[in-house]
Amino acid sequence: MVPKRHLWIALALTVSAAPVKAETIQVTIDKLVFSPATVEAKVGDTIEWVNMDVFAHTATVKGGWEVTIPPKKSASLTLQKAETVDYFCRFHPNMKGRLVVAP
């Protein structure tokens, strides 16, 4: 018989080694506000911006990427690297959001 304690260790290893499934995280844009303003995600996850407004917005990183979200549409981006990025809307610079991307 295998001692019970060893079974527990085997179980813990199995759980921690399970692959993490990539997620799609929605950020709603409504009345010029990104919500939630800060999102914690992992590399491989997809951020989907859902624009409820009747005009276009962007999610723009200074010196980095830009995603345009047309009115009443959505647009998405798959996160490629671990970093914390602040983004804003090119058309409405008061609109701000942050992505905290873990490896």
| Contact track, Cu ion, 27-66, x by CB under 5 A | ------------------------------x---------
Locate 54 and state its tokens: 């009747």
38-42 vs 66-69, strand pairing mode: unpaired
Q: Which is nearer to Cu ion, 23 or 66 (CB)?
A: 66
Distance CA 26, CA 59 (A): 13
Residue 92 interacts with Cu ion (CB under 5 A)? yes
Scanning 10-18, 37-45, 72-80, 90-98 for contacts with Cu ion by CB under 5 A, the matching segment is 90-98
Distance CA 102, CA 98 (A): 13
Locate 50 and state its tokens: 């859902």
Q: Which of 41, 89, 99, 101 binds Cu ion (CB under 5 A)?
A: 89
As a whole number of angstroms, the longest Cα–Cα distance in the chain is 68
Q: Which of 8, 91, 100, 102 binds Cu ion (CB under 5 A)?
A: 91
Q: Return residues touching Cu ion (CB under 5 A).
A: 57, 89, 91-92
